[in-house]
Structures are given as C-alpha cells and as structure tokens.
Amino acid sequence: MRPLQYSNSKTLKLNKVLIKTLEKDDLENFVTTVEQMENYIKSKGSQTIGPLIQHIESSVNEQGEIDIVIKLLRQSSNFIQHVEPPYEMKSVIRVKNCMYVRYTGPESKLKFAYDKINLTAFEEDIELKGDSYTIFVDQNEDNIIADVFMEKANEQ
C-alpha cells in the first residue's frame, strides 16, 4: 500500500457531531480530554460512532501572527439535544471541495500528508482556506491510518 493516496476533490460529511474546542490544559491532558468526551456522549444515552476527528482552524490576526484553534469532534449515534459547555453539537458538518490525502505510516510522519496537500496546492495554484480535518481511522503498534481533508478557498 502506498503511504499517501491523494484526491483533488472530496467532500467531508459528518453527522451528529459533538465538538470541544481545546484549551491549553486539554492539550496537556489529551487522552483524558478524549475520554471525557466519550463519557459525556455515553452519559447522554448515546454511543460514539467512528474515529476521533481533529479540526484545526488557522487564521492571521491583526498583528500578522497566526492564530490556531484546535477542536476535537466525535460523531454520536444520536443527536444530543441539550449540550452543556464546553461542548457544542451540530447535526451535520459538510465540507465540500477539499483536497484529500489518506496517510498510512508512522504517526511521527503524518506531517507529510499535510505537506503533500500544501505542495500540490502550491504547484497547481490552488488557494486553501486554512482549515484541516484529520480523521484517525486506525492505529496499530507501528502505524496509523489517517484521512486529511483541507478545504479549498474558492470553488474551482
């Protein structure tokens, strides 16, 4: 299997998604944060569906510095009606017109999936919006399988 499988036009669709915007403490206790999300879904009488999804939003602020917001997303078997902070719930997230890479290999080299998309976008003069969605499909002792989606800035 090739470590990078690329597509120029994919749509990411997620249903019944619980979202948590990460704070500094959450990053330091990442595993605990993920477990808390899963337990929250269970406490609401639902079950997690599919793998963990990481959404990174990046933008340039007024000082010219890059601001990054990291969110964790988990799909649920049911839509949770009353969600308390720090969580939010969306019935559907649909991100059209994405560049996509499926990565298979050591987690330490996952950055090559992002590099592949960014380099291809540069070579083909495609502007990216700046967000990325990473879906951690599978993991064993040595390797992970992850799907990386990056939305194009303009419909092309």
- Per residue of the chain (156 residues), give pLDDT as tens: 577 999 999 999 999 999 999 988 887 888 999 999 999 999 999 999 999 999 999 888 888 888 889 999 999 999 999 999 999 999 999 999 999 999 999 999 999 999 999 999 999 999 999 899 999 999 988 899 999 999 999 754
pLDDT of residue 79: 97
Q: What is the DSSP string of 38-72?
A: HHHHHHTT--EEEEEEEEEEEEE-TTSPEEEEEEE
Helix (H, G, I), strand (E, B) or coil at 135: strand
pLDDT of residue 2: 72
How many distinct helices (H) and strands (E) make up the chain?
3, 6
pLDDT of residue 155: 58
pLDDT of residue 61: 84
- What residue type is assigned to position 93 of the chain? I
- Taking the C-alpha atoms of residue 103 and residue 146, their distance in angstroms, rounded to an integer, is 5
